[in-house]
Amino acid sequence: MSRKKTLVHHRRSPVGAPPGLLVPDEHASPTSMRMTIIEDDAITEKADVGIGDVRAAHKSGKRLWVDVIGLADLELIAAIGELFNMDPLAIEDVANTDQRPKVDVYDGHPLIIVHMFDGKSVSSKEQFAIAFDKTHVVTFQERPGDCLDPVRKRLNAPTGRIRKRGAPYLVYAILDTVLDAYFPLLEAIGEELEELEDRITFDPRPRDINELHAIKRQLLTVKRALWPSREMLSALTREELGLIPRDIQQYMRDTYDHAIQLIDVTETYRELATGLLDLYMSSVSTKMNEVMKVLTIISTIFIPLGFLAGIWGMNFDPNSAWNMPELELPYGYPLALGVMASIAIALLLLFRWKKWL
């Protein structure tokens, strides 16, 4: 029997470990890097680049988006952090993928942690980290495959504003795309709930309970990702923190509204799933009551028939003056069956007249 996937991640730093310690994860995906050099009139994308390529591009002063994929190579991740002046605590949060969505402000750069889905399955959840300054954006994801192709497509569009608005606007576009990927995920869950509702209403089966519990666990995972994300997006829109320029904050507030909408949808679906559990129990109870009613009616019909059969089945002495006279009738057997059938039909008509059937 296979165990269910746990909702709690148990990997953590050793007790008493110094701050900034990078803990290796034996299950981490191999590390690779993709670099995008952003200019107003051109975009240069390079896959599988090394730290030397990133250093050279960084010295050129051009805007960069460095996407680190896989967290197995902690030395490379530390080198990237050193190149972009990332705080050791920020690097620790990147490498230890049990962080809740948040935004931390360090000298020279903020660090954003968010949970990312591919838009198809809740099991695709991964930690996604973004560090940025006024010029550069560095992202870290746990494994290959993401939902950021729309951002890359916008970067390749010659007339797109994303090329000219700087690193904070690129961060907004990335966060907005990550949040938008929740919508098709929740839509698929909503369709599953509608199908389950129809099935439970007309023909509840035990497997429906297992599906409902699986959906509730998925919704709980999404909720755990969304609620802290709302706080993180709210912090990014505060002018006193100065993390996002004022002209981009209006776009970030729109992303914040998307997070609120997603939370509302998630809570609605959780309530619906709970209601479907109650509906299942009610439907099963109603179905059981119908079965018990039919069995009770059948038992009620056979009670007088069994009584008559018991009386006629007693073998008394036929020569006794107290013997039942019908035992000597030549057609006594069919006559007894006819009486029993008449009683059964009469009871059925009575039950139907009482609307018990």
Q: What is the CATH number of domain 290-353?
A: 1.20.58.340
Lowest mean pLDDT among 65-69, 100-104, 124-128, 331-335: 331-335
What's residue 319's pLDDT? 67
Residue 70 pLDDT > 80: yes
More confident of the two residues 327 and 310: 310
Q: In 3D, which of 329, 312, 328 has the Cα closest to residue 320?
A: 328
More confident of the two residues 318 and 16: 318
Helix (H, G, I), strand (E, B) or coil at 244: coil
Which whole-number Å values give the CA distances from 161 to 80, 151, 154, 242, 251, in the listed order?
A: 27, 12, 8, 22, 13
Residue written as tokens 């009551």?
289
Asked if the 22-161 domain carries CATH number 3.40.47.40, the reply is: no
Question: In angstroms, what is the C-alpha Rg of the chain?
Answer: 35
What's residue 23's pLDDT? 67
Asked whether the domain spanning 290-353 has the same topology as the one spanning 22-161, the reply is no
pLDDT tens figures, 183-229: 999 999 999 999 998 888 888 888 888 999 999 999 999 999 999 99
pLDDT tens figures, 113-135: 999 998 888 888 999 999 998 88
Q: What CA–CA distance (Å, rounded) separates 124 from 118? A: 6
Q: What CA–CA distance (Å, rounded) separates 171 from 177? A: 10
pLDDT tens figures, 76-96: 999 999 999 999 999 999 998
Q: What is the pTM (predicted TM-score) of this model?
A: 0.78
What's residue 7's pLDDT? 46
Q: What CA–CA distance (Å, rounded) separates 339 from 274? A: 53
Reported confidence tier of residue 317, pLDDT bands at 50, 70, 90? low
Looking at the DSSP bridge assignments, the partners of residue 42 are none
Residue 320 pLDDT > 70: no
Domain boundaries along the sequence of the chain: 22-161, 290-353
